[in-house]
Amino acid sequence: MGKFLGAHRASPRRLRPPGVPADAGMTLIELMFAMVIFAIVAAGAVAGLTGALTTTRSDRNRVAASDLAARELEIVRNTFESTAAGPGAVAAAGLVLNGDPLPGGTAGQPLVVDNTPYTVSRNIEWLPAGSGQSACDGGAGVTYPSLEVQVTVTWPQMSGVSPVVNTTILTPPKNTLNTATGYVAVKVLSSAAAPEPGQLVTLTGPGGTYTDTTASDGCAVFASTVAGTYAASLNQTGYVDNYGNQVASKNVALAAGTLSQLSFNYDRSATLVATMTTSGGYALPTSIPQVTLANTGLQPAGFKYVPASTASTTIAGLWPFTDGYTSWAGACTQSDPAASGGTRSAAVIVGPGGTGTSTLTLAPVRVTVTQTTLTGLPVSGATVTATPSNPATCASGENPLVLGVTNSLGILSTSLPAGAWTIKVVSRSAVGAWPVTAVLLPTSGASAVPVVLQ
């Protein structure tokens, strides 16, 4: 039994390699394992601490933003109720950014609380149809106008946190309302038919020039005691209406005691880069054809013709139609592949503010020019043109196309948009009628066109 107990007491020494004393400390492997475990535990602790600090800071920022929003509403309410002219002053202010600084601050600059700058945005909108009734979406009747005040507070590094938004309705006393006042409500919609907030709208007419910024519902409302015809307009860099105009304008009638409504489609413009190409060994025409864009929404006939001077044309200022643009080379009716028996290429969809690309393929054509009076010898240096079969269907500047100049063998390897084309040589006469190509398509193989000169 004694031997057994002795053997049991000696067993711990076997945990170390032979010859290593019991008091030799940790081995290198043991130390590395300990460091790895410590690093994992420390990383988790740091991540948890960082998350807690971020949450605390976010909560503190949101509390401060809520206080600033409540402060702004109280300032507006005091102005509104202070005098008989108060409601008019509040309504006329429109969109105001940082208009009420903290003590020691500057109007127009962010409001700083605990070293964090906050932007306080206040927007006022007339509600002629009554409390809660949008002037743009409700009826055209004026009941008892009120004012909707919306205050939005944002700050840097919000990290996905929503801004603080406070809204209230202010109703003027009945004796302050002028029954001679008329209202105009302008709604601005994006290409997706969604409200466009923050758009500056200008109304100009007999009563002067007024400006207002669209609220969260995309609506801007104007009030005036001077009746007449007014022009409502939008003009923001990088934006266009659905006709491709940066400056969008519509007329509207303002009359006492009535609410007139109109709407605009206005969004960030799209850009399309159209590049013409043809088969290998063939060149594009010397005079590059125009680019045709097609969409049923384009006015007046669903097409837009864009002059081109190089193989690649950048077309900016386009309305971002949700169904996109189809495009082809050439600005004649026959240049539309669908009109010549083929198929249009797929539409290119470009979102608001985006850029898309389109490849326009021309059909390869080989023109050979010879001279009969010289026993059929090739004619070099001949300038060749192409005229569409029905020139009356072409946009201005498209007819005729200069294809290029023949080489020493009297050959010109060129290309053409879709359709049938009459081939001619400048300042020369042909034997009989000038030749006409077959009906060309972007998918056509090379067409040979012999031209015999007198």
CATH code where residue 230 lies = 2.60.40.10
> Which of 44-48, 52-56, 63-67, 76-80 bottoms out in mean pLDDT, i.e. has the lowest?
52-56
The domain boundary residue, chosen from 131, 151, 174? 174
Residue range 279-313, pLDDT digits in tens: 999 999 999 999 999 999 998 899 999 999 999 99
Amino acid at 358: S
Residue range 383-394, pLDDT digits in tens: 999 999 999 999
Strands 447-453 and 363-371: parallel
Asked if 330 and 444 sit in the same domain, the reply is no
Better pLDDT: 187 or 2: 187
Asked if 55 and 170 sit in the same domain, the reply is yes
Instruction: Provide the domain count of the chain.
Output: 4
Q: Model confidence at 23, in pLDDT bands (50, 70, 90)?
A: low
Residue range 397-450, pLDDT digits in tens: 888 999 999 999 999 999 999 999 999 999 999 999 999 999 999 999 999 999
| Residue 17: predicted pLDDT | 57
pLDDT of residue 264 exceeding 90, the answer is yes
Compute the average pLDDT of residues 31-46.
77
What is the spatial distance between Cα 69 and Cα 341, in angstroms, rounded to a whole number? 64
The domain boundary residue, chosen from 335, 361, 387? 361
Asked if 121 and 166 sit in the same domain, the reply is yes
Compute the average pLDDT of residues 344-370.
97
Q: What is the mean pLDDT of the chain?
A: 89
Contact 281, 273 (CB under 8 A): no
Q: Model confidence at 101, in pLDDT bands (50, 70, 90)?
A: very high
In a domain, 21, yes or no: no
Q: Model confidence at 1, in pLDDT bands (50, 70, 90)?
A: very low
| Residue 415: predicted pLDDT | 98
Residue range 200-233, pLDDT digits in tens: 999 999 999 999 999 888 999 999 999 999 999 9
CB atoms within 10 A of CB 36: 10
pLDDT of residue 382 exceeding 80, the answer is yes
CA 199 to chain centre: 14
What is the spatial distance between Cα 173 and Cα 185, in angstroms, rounded to a whole number? 22
Compute the average pLDDT of residues 244-265.
95
Beta bridge partners of 254: 228
Better pLDDT: 141 or 276: 276
Compute the average pLDDT of residues 18-44.
71
Contact 410, 380 (CB under 8 A): yes
In a domain, 28, yes or no: no
What is the spatial distance between Cα 62 and Cα 47, in angstroms, rounded to a whole number? 22
Asked if 116 and 134 sit in the same domain, the reply is yes
Compute the average pLDDT of residues 139-150.
82
Residue 331 has φ and ψ, to the nearest 5°, of -125, 35
| Residue 157: predicted pLDDT | 86
> Which of 176-190, 236-250, 295-309, 423-437 bottoms out in mean pLDDT, i.e. has the lowest?
176-190
Reduce the secondary structure of 231-272 to three states and give it as a string: EEEEECCCEEECCCCCEEEEEEEECCCEEEEEEEEEEECEEE
Contact 242, 230 (CB under 8 A): no
The domain boundary residue, chosen from 174, 204, 239? 174
In a domain, 33, yes or no: no
Q: In what order do the strands lie in the sheet with 247-254?
A: 208-213, 200-205, 228-235, 247-254
List of residues 6+ apart from 294 with CB closer than 8 A: 302, 303, 304, 325, 326, 327, 328, 336, 344
List of residues 6+ apart from 303 with CB closer than 8 A: 292, 293, 294
Asked if 292 and 331 sit in the same domain, the reply is yes
In a domain, 24, yes or no: no
Asked if 259 and 344 sit in the same domain, the reply is no
In a domain, 3, yes or no: no
Residue burial 62-79, b: 16+ Cβ < 10 Å; e: rest = bebbeebbebbbeebeeb
Compute the average pLDDT of residues 340-358.
97
| Residue 19: predicted pLDDT | 58
What count of residues does the chain have? 454
In a domain, 39, yes or no: no
Asked if 80 and 159 sit in the same domain, the reply is yes
Q: Model confidence at 8, in pLDDT bands (50, 70, 90)?
A: very low
Range of the domain at 388: 363-453
What is the spatial distance between Cα 321 and Cα 422, in angstroms, rounded to a whole number? 36
Asked if 157 and 125 sit in the same domain, the reply is yes
Asked if 340 and 406 sit in the same domain, the reply is no
Beta bridge partners of 81: none
In a domain, 31, yes or no: no
Contact 276, 363 (CB under 8 A): no
| CATH code of the domain containing 313 | 2.60.40
pLDDT of residue 9 exceeding 80, the answer is no
Asked if 80 and 104 sit in the same domain, the reply is yes
In a domain, 350, yes or no: yes
- With vertex at residue 21, the alpha carbon angle to CA 19 and CA 24, rounded to the nearest 5 degrees, is 125
